[in-house]
A and B are shown apart, each in its own frame.
Chain A
Amino acid sequence: MLRAIVIGYGNPSRQDDGVGHYVADKIDQLYNNQIDVLICHQLGIELVETIKDYDVVIFVDAHAGERSTNLEITMLESIYSTSAFTHFVKPNSLIALTENLYRKKPKAFLVSINGYNFDFGTEFSPETQKWADIAVKEILKLIDQS
């Protein structure tokens, strides 16, 4: 049986930045026994130990800036990119490290939802809320198709 995990990350105290948590939590509530869920503030290198045991890994995050789309679903390539100081590891770097360390390469996606407001607080902006709920459905489709 195919094993899937949804990893929602971001800062839930910075409004739309917490959308990854919301989506992952929603999936956990709806599909508690079928899909594993992990919620974290940021991605750390130790996650390779978790990822290696899955066939499909879906990262969920907010995106910001000049993108035009409210919901982006990207298939992740296994590419490691270095970092000067940060403890944060990018999703495709995690996949690359998992592949190099354990010889396992799960199918991986990044689902990102546009964030409009990153102020201090826990409420989403209406557009982000709307697309977060759509993202839940899209993630389920992704897992089904995999």
Chain B
Amino acid sequence: MAKKIAIEPVTRIEGHARITINLGDDGKVENAYFHVDQFRGFEKFSEGRMYYEMIQITPRICGICPVSHHLAAAKACDAIIGVTIPRTATLLRELMHMGQMIQSHSMHFFHLAGPDLLFSFDADPAIRNVAGIIKVNPDLALKAVKLRKFGQEVIQHLGTKKVHPVFAVPGGVNSALSEEKRDIIYSQIDEIASYILKGISLAKHWVEDNMDIIKNFAVFPSGYMGLVKDGALELYDGQVRLVDKDGNLLEQFDGSDYLKYIGEHVEDWSYLKFPFYRKMGYPEGVYRVGPLARLNVAERISTPMANEEFKKFKEIGNGKPVEGTLWYHYARLIEDLYAIERLKEILDDPDILSTDIRADSLQLGSQGVGCLEAPRGTLFHHYQVDEGGRLTKVNLIIASGHNNWSMSKSVYEVAKKYVDGNNLTEGMLNRVEAAIRAHDPCLSCSTHALGQMPIAIEIYDSNGKLLNKIMRG
């Protein structure tokens, strides 16, 4: 008799998360955990499907970074059929990826992180949100909306749909870029770049005024992982670089070899696994991914304006990796700037309007790995297929999964520093949330399931009695 696994509740946003904070007899924080209570489903669900369907199936893991899944799946399929895709196809995929980066990074900064930065962690939650930003700075809010819209439109111009594009196919892409669409995108670049620069300026002012908070907010050593190409920041292709807490190179490898280097540890209090560097074991081999990690592993950025900001970023760490969790925000905006500059470079490329966009192949290998940098960090899609092309095994390691340890550690560090069980304030708990928020997690991706994400913060006394529970929608 067939078994049926029910997953409830299910809607469409970023998973379930829970933070528990355990207090000692003195009311001080003893430990704190970040749990993800969702069930992994997509890997099993995909088995038995044809490999090429993954390009359309996996974007439905997520409504925010579907392009990352779309493209990682396409790269895995390219590997299965053993092709190197035409240069124009690579450029077009990367163009779509830059649109995705701009919409995702911009929305995070202005919509989710911005209210904390503009109003402070202790501000009234009734105004500490986008509606509050509109009241005090409507021009900034409009810029935020336009940034997000621009990124979405780039995706739509290429893939006909904003959210689940139909564009990449095994061996390339299914449509060339028209001159008209190129010109539409191109005409907005300067304006969009100016908005991102405004965001960077805003972030820097906040840094100047809040250095004391930044230096004390979830600052801890870890490894870092991200893609590089010739040592420079890379988001679509390149090699995976892993460095230790001091910035020393541990490994640099092709994404297809990820299993040699990355293991996944399981804790019984979270469905989300804890990836680590195999040679060092868990927890010694834990690392971070995402904007902060990518800038920590890179030696430079290939575009001029972003590289100037990158140099300033590197000064923060005095030659060592930048450890403070709140620096994720600055790093994210530097990448945002890189994305618009790189987008311009791609549109300026003489090959961009070429119709040589797909490589054919009659080969069918037994497996393929697709690897790229999603907005939140390194993404691996690994498919194994039978001789008919049906999937026999699927492994997805998602950006927010790589950061699982870091998010939990950040919660602990911030709770220990700021939460006083004897005198609990909303601002204290907002700081704990902000530690998670800095990573910009997408939990539906990392658990490959879908569900509402009411974040619950639960505070327990030393006897395990629930003292307080706060739900956030």
Q: Which residues on A are within 8 Å of B, measured CB to CB?
A: 9-14, 17, 39-42, 44-46, 48-49, 62, 64-65, 80-88, 90, 93, 96-97, 100-101, 118-120
Contacts and interface: CB of A to CB of B under 8 A. Distances in A.
Contacts of B450: 11, 14, 17
Contacts of A9: 12
Given A64-B10, A118-B8, A45 B144 contact: yes
B260 interface: no
Given A41-B12, A44-B152, A82-B129, A101 B138 contact: yes
A136 B163 CA distance: 23
Looking at chain A's contact residues, the main secondary structure is loop
A120 B131 contact: no
Interface stretch (B59-67, B178-186, B230-238, B316-324): B59-67
Given A40-B63, A84-B473, 6 more contacts: A44-B152, A46-B148, A80-B130, A87-B64, A87-B108, A97-B134
Contact of B128 (A39, A82, A96): A82
A80 B126 CA distance: 9
Contacts of B125: 82
Contacts of B66: 41
Contact of A100 (B9, B13, B135): B135
B60 A84 contact: no
A46 B66 CA distance: 16
A80 B163 CA distance: 23
Interface string B1-29: 00010111111111001000000000000
Contact of A97 (B6, B17, B130): B130
A87 B13 contact: yes
Contacts of A39: 161
B96 interface: no
Given A85-B433, A87-B111, A64 B63 contact: no
Contacts of A46: 103, 107, 145, 148-149, 152
A38 B14 CA distance: 22
24 contacts: A11-B10, A13-B60, A41-B164, A42-B13, A45-B130, A45-B148, A46-B103, A62-B11, A80-B129, A81-B473, A82-B129, A83-B473, A84-B433, A85-B17, A85-B436, A85-B437, A87-B111, A88-B12, A93-B131, A100-B131, A101-B141, A101-B142, A118-B10, A119-B6
Contacts of B83: none
Nearest to A40: B163
Contacts of B144: 45
B262 interface: no
Contacts of A49: 145-146, 149
B57 A13 contact: yes
Contacts of A90: 473
Contacts of A45: 107, 111, 130, 144-145, 148
A84 B438 CA distance: 11
B13 A48 contact: no
A80 B141 CA distance: 15
B41 interface: yes
Interface string B121-137: 00001001111001100
